[in-house]
Structure 1
Amino acid sequence: MADVKILYEDAQIIVCVKPAGMASQAERSSAMDLVSWLKNYIGGQKRAVGGQKNYIGVVHRLDKPVGGVMVYAKTPKAASELSRQFSAHDTEKTYLAVLTGRLPETSGVLENRLERDGRTNTSSVVDTGGKQARLEYRMLAERDGRSLAEVRLYTGRHHQIRVQMAHAGAGIYGDMKYNREATEKWNRERETPTGSKGLGLFSCGLIFSHPATGKRMKFKVLPGKGPVAIDEWPGLSYYMNDENEPGR
């Protein structure tokens, strides 16, 4: 079974780290998804609440190849309030991204209109139509032909970070949908098998208000392995200087 780290849990919510490669919720596959894992976990711990056995409410998602911190609701009421916060952008979501190119500035904002193609499960930047997408980035380091950026997401569009970074000329390392050519070039030059390292994108930070108490909840994590891991970017150790702050 996949290694899922639980960061915080109470009667209303459960905060965990989704492994890269695991779906956020059930899909057309026999592979274990995170919702099913959490239901098994709660059932095994006998922590069902209010007679609603093993309820897990999905309030936001991460792409399957992307690992990182997520919050799930344990009651329908908590799910409703958390969903409202995500829809109203009352949450803060921070990512770490390994890029194969350079962005125009060391920090800035990317704003585009994105259109989704359901047939190919891809999104693209368009001049008209689509939906507004906005993110803020800050460059953290450069190493061996790649760069590391911190990204704050203001909207939650389909494949948003991956599409906007590729459009800006600095695609995500390991992204075979939007940045295949640059990824394969980097791998060839270093004799690295394509696909051996995974996608260079990780959800490292999440801030939201507790659905019952209203207290601000802050969580920050780093991946244990992959392109964004601390052994690839030693300077990331400062990220853990601030401890997780549930209920503060």
Structure 2
Amino acid sequence: MEKMEHTILEEQAGERIDKVLSTLNKEWSRTQAQAWIKEGHVLVNEEQIKTNYKCSFNDRIVITIPEPEELDVVPENMDLEIYYEDQDVLVVNKPKGMVVHPAPGHLTGTLVNGLMAHCKDLSGINGVMRPGIVHRIDKDTSGLLMVAKNDLAHESLVNQLVEKTVTRKYRAIVHGVIPHDYGTIEAPIARDQKDRQSMAVTDNGKHAVTHFHVLDRFTNFTFVECQLETGRTHQIRVHMKYIGYPLAGDPKYGPRKTLDIGGQALHAGILGFVHPRSGEYMEFEAPLPPDFQQLVDQMKNNR
């Protein structure tokens, strides 16, 4: 393992340790620095510190740079639908039924397996099982995902998610006929205490905001566009259930009698972000998958 030492300068006093580390090497991001601090690879005056430690003049920092972990993910050739790709970022349209990254029970056939075969240069911030993955969509949700090809791009995209400047619009079919054209759901989300595999609106949950507007109304169903302001696990599915309009086909949050369509009718159709290197705003749109479009057409014909 390589070691690096640095003594805090007068102008660095008062700065957070992760910020200081990110200035010592242009290849290091603050997220990478935070991971090293949590893993005990960074000592200040021979002691371990927390990621929010504020440096003092003449602090002696020792960074033990760990050897890069070999990726344990098996590359698999897949016919991925790549919407955009350059040296920093990649935008892919994930099909319904595909898991985003390997996990116990899903070690192969995931989007990450396909990405590993498509390009070797993916950011390592999220560790060996989730290279390049900045945000996720559920297995049975289709649509657009942004992928980081290096750590600096990863940090930029994550910061945009934190700052709520990424455009994420989803199309969904929900049970019931929503009477008003527009709405905002602001309700905190956390693990369901009764079912740890599910999420729920709870008082002690994380802040979550979903905006929606009605695109069309059918007999007993509504076609909506939802825009995420935050990105909590299962957010749209939980929020729409919370206001009484659960997603059609949703086996976890939908009613017992729902449409047999192999999962929730939810598609991440529009994705926009600022390019990490050029600073240019980019936006992409993926049309509804054929089976989703067919469902919308059937509902139009049947009303």
TM-score class normalised by the smaller sequence: 0.7 to 0.9
Contact 2:141–2:267 at 8 Å: present in 1 too?
yes
Residue 232 of structure 1 and its aligned partner are, at CA, apart by: 2.9
Give the letter aligned to residue 115 of structure 2: L
Q: Which residue in 1 is equivalent to 2:92? A: 16
The counterpart of 1:40, out of the listed 110, 113, 117, is 117
Which residues in structure 2 correspond to 1:165-204 (within 5 Å)? 165-183=240-258, 187=259, 194=260, 196-204=261-269
The counterpart of 2:289, out of the listed 224, 233, 238, is 224
Counterpart CA distance in 1 for 2:163 and 2:179 is 30
Give the letter aligned to residue 41 of structure 1: H
Q: Which residue in 2 is equivalent to 1:130? A: 205
Equivalent residue of 2:208, what SS? strand
Give the letter aligned to residue 253 of structure 2: Y
Q: 1:19-60 CA deviation, whole Å, 9 max, x = no partner?
A: 1111111212243111110110125xxxx59xxxxx941111
Contact 1:140–1:148 at 8 Å: present in 2 too?
yes
Counterpart CA distance in 2 for 1:121 and 1:105 is 32
Contact 1:102–1:169 at 8 Å: present in 2 too?
no
Q: 1:134-190 CA deviation, whole Å, 9 max, x = no partner?
A: 11111011234321000111011111110110111110001111113241xxx4xxx
Contact 1:2–1:19 at 8 Å: present in 2 too?
no
Say how many residue pairs are matched.
213
Equivalent residue of 2:82, what SS? strand
Counterpart CA distance in 2 for 1:197 and 1:145 is 19
Structure with higher RCO (Cα < 8 A, 6+ apart) = 1
Equivalent residue of 1:38, what SS? helix
Counterpart CA distance in 2 for 1:154 and 1:66 is 18
Gaps of 5+ in 1: 50-54, 188-193, 235-248
Q: Which residue in 2 is equivalent to 1:153? A: 228
Q: Which residue in 2 is equivalent to 1:215? A: 280
Residue 197 of structure 1 and its aligned partner are, at CA, apart by: 4.4
Contact 1:3–1:19 at 8 Å: present in 2 too?
no
Counterpart CA distance in 1 for 2:244 and 2:87 is 45
Equivalent residue of 1:27, what SS? coil
Contact 1:57–1:72 at 8 Å: present in 2 too?
yes
Give the letter aligned to residue 278 of structure 2: T
Contact 1:103–1:169 at 8 Å: present in 2 too?
no
Shifted more, 207-216 versus 1-10: the winner is 1-10
The percentage of aligned residue pairs carrying the same residue is 30
Pairwise CA RMSD of aligned residues?
2.2
Q: Which residue in 1 is equivalent to 2:108? A: 31
Relative to structure 1, the CA distance from residue 76 to residue 130 in structure 2 (aligned partners, 3 Å threshold; closer, same or farther) is: same
In the superposition, the TM-score normalised over structure 2's length comes to: 0.65
Equivalent residue of 1:147, what SS? strand
Is 1:73 the counterpart of 2:148? The answer is yes
Counterpart CA distance in 2 for 1:201 and 1:18 is 12
Give the letter aligned to residue 274 of structure 2: S
Q: 1:191-238 CA deviation, whole Å, 9 max, x = no partner?
A: xxx3x4432011001110001111001001123233xx323335xxxx
Equivalent residue of 2:99, what SS? coil
Give the letter aligned to residue 82 of structure 2: I
Counterpart CA distance in 2 for 1:212 and 1:133 is 29
Relative to structure 1, the CA distance from residue 154 to residue 182 in structure 2 (aligned partners, 3 Å threshold; closer, same or farther) is: farther
* Bigger Rg over Cα: 2
Residue 16 of structure 1 and its aligned partner are, at CA, apart by: 0.7
Counterpart CA distance in 2 for 1:198 and 1:123 is 17
